[in-house]
Amino acid sequence: MTFTSDMVAELNLLLKFPNKSLMQGLKIHHDAEPEVIAAAKRLHDKGIVTLPDGGYLTDLGYDLAEHAQVVQSALTHSAR
């Protein structure tokens, strides 16, 4: 199975959340790119963020954001 474009948009949005504290979130504004708005709603529907326009990461969302950071880091560093 490959990542769909929707999954990539969701992963990219997860990477934008602050990773230092659960007390920091994101607000997706109405004039954001349509794919970002849709990704935020899907993440909310899946219980990953607290609000359809972002909000805070849930416990699941925080775990997923950490994993997304690991994947991004592994894919952006050249092999040794």
- Give whole-number Cα distances, 5 to 39, 40, 71, in Å: 10, 14, 17
Q: Name the nearest CA neighbour of 14 among 57, 70, 73, 47.
A: 57
**pTM for this entry:** 0.89
User: Can you tell me the distance from the alpha carbon of 49 to that of 56, in angstroms, rounded to the nearest whole number?
Assistant: 6
User: Can you tell me the distance from the alpha carbon of 80 to that of 66, in angstroms, rounded to the nearest whole number?
Assistant: 23
| Tens-place pLDDT, residues 8-34 | 999 999 999 987 766 789 999 999 999
| Tens-place pLDDT, residues 27-61 | 999 999 999 999 999 999 999 999 999 999 999 99
Tokens 């474009």 correspond to what residue? 5
